[in-house]
Each structure stands twice: as C-alpha cells, then as structure tokens.
Amino acid sequence: MENTAATKKVMLSGIQPSGDLHLGNYLGAVKNWAALAEEFDCYYFMADLHSITVRQNPAELRRRSLAQLAQYIACGLDPEKNTLFIQSHVHEHAELGWILNCYTMFGELSRMTQFKDKCAKNADNINGGLFTYPSLMAADILLYQADYVPVGEDQKQHCELTRDIATRFNNIYGETFKVPEPYIPKVGARIMSLVNPTSKMSKSDPHGCVFLLDSPEEIARKFKRAVTDSDTENCVRYAPAEKPGVANLMSIYSSVTGKSFEEIEAEFQGKGYGAFKPAVGEAVIEALRPVREEAQRIMADKAYLQQVYTQGAQKAGYVARKTLRKVYKRVGFVEKPF
C-alpha cells in the first residue's frame, strides 16, 4: 500500500535565512532533499524569528527570507509536495515557544553549547532570546507532531532537549506531543573552500565559496584561482592527505558529472591543473545554470512567491492550531471564544 500524506511520517526543518545558498549546501544536502517528499510529509520554514537573536538589517532579512525560499524551490523542493513557509507567518510558533519556556529548566538552557558560542561572538548583545531560543526550536518541532528532525552535529543537543521537554510535558499532562527522533540525512560530498581546502566551504569566505546565484563569469574566475597544491607534480590524482585542493576539486567534479575519481584521473592524465580547474568550473556552471535561472525567475515573480508562502502558512497554521488548542486546554487556559 502506498504512503499517502495522511499516513506519511512528518519531517520538519527550519532554516535561518542567513544568506544565499552555496555549492557546499547544494551538493552536501539540499540536492538530496527533494526525494524526501516521496517518503515523508515535509515542512520547511524560513526561521526568521530565530534570526533576530542577532541584530539584523530589516530590509536585508526580508530579502534573504524570500531569496532563500526561492532558491529552495529552485533546488527541487516542490511546493505542491512540501509545505514551505515563513516562521513568523504562523504565530503559534511564538505562542507555544512561550509556554515551553515555562517547561524548560534554566540549567538545561545554561548547558547549551550554541548559547556559549553565540555569546562569545555577540558579546555586546547577549539577549534573552539567545538564551531561550532552544525552547522556540522545540515549539517549532512539536507544533507539527514531527516524527523526524534532520540534524547535523551542532543541532543534536537541541533535538535531545526537545525530546526532554516533550516527555516532561507529556508526563505532567498526558500524551500531548509526539517525541521526535533525530534523522541523519543522506550526506552528499563534503565540499571544502576553494582557497582553503582544509576548511568547509562557507559564506563567510566569499573568495573560496561558490554561491548558487553567482554568474557564470564569477564561478569561472573562482575556479581559476582555486588552490591545488604546492608540489611540482601538476598531476590530477585523488590523494586527500597529500593534495587536499586537488581532491576537493575532484569531489566537486565527480558530484556534478557523476564520474568516478578513476575516470577523472584518466580524463586529465597529462593535462595538468591548467586544463583541470577551468573544466571543473565549466561543469559547475552547467550544473548550477538551471538552479540559478529558476531561482531568478521565481524571485522576479513576486505573486507566485507570495502564493507559495501564503499557502504554506495556511497549511502549517491549520496543523499548528490543532496542537496549540490541545496545549492550551492541558495547561488550563480558558477556551478562546473565536
């Protein structure tokens, strides 16, 4: 019997609109997300409420929220198969976040390593939101009775806290929340910086980072300047310990062409880096061309983008309201008259 939306397990992920997606995001994760909709009922939201724990330029935050939504659609997250929305459009997130603050222990929040990291980076703005945002994150997940939450290493602690909060609430009031499980997503290639191949590709390093919306000329320029290695071998072979720069370029080329490392070595035998780097750049340009063009088309079609996030918020809001009504009743609030 086929899975239907009613019987599928629920998968939820919130993404902070912190900037344009890059090649590492795409090849490492996002490219694989489209297929999840066949197995799960997927919710993806732009986590703008979480973003303001750090000071934001309002116009930039709005632009990034919409641009990131457009890029996710362009990467294959079909709005007809996935629920895509903006977090602040579903007010139940903030409402349940406050309630769960009251069921989250001070000691638990004090132990969150991300709070300590963010305090170190934002010493002039250590606000209450930085401290309590794991409770809001728990609300994000529990509102939708999510079965699974995709987690990286830096989010495992928050997923465990969400499970603890849900279990505590259920023990006090009876079965209210589904206790979610961490989901370790299928990981694509680990893409490193083009100028520092010992570090992951990151938007904080624009010279070593290829953004999905970069022009073909910009992508070609970045690959021509990519670090290879300091030896005189000038040979394309996969040896990550000896030649991390070459290995990174081979990983990228393999990911976008489907060729094995052996095939790549044979293709560029005797040709050297002068031929290899532009070829990788050209392959990336062609792989990203449909994504970039579709993202630009979507961003230009403001009516379509508004339709997507409106319908997404309506569907998400319907599910969230059901959970919040149950929570309000459990804690003893008088039923709303409207």
Residue 335 to residue 330: CA distance in whole angstroms = 11
Tell me the catalytic residues. 118, 200, 203
**Rounded to whole angstroms, what are the CA distances from 162 to 11, 108, 158, 159, 208?**
15, 11, 6, 5, 35
Is the distance from CB of 329 to CB of 108 less than 8 angstroms?
A: no
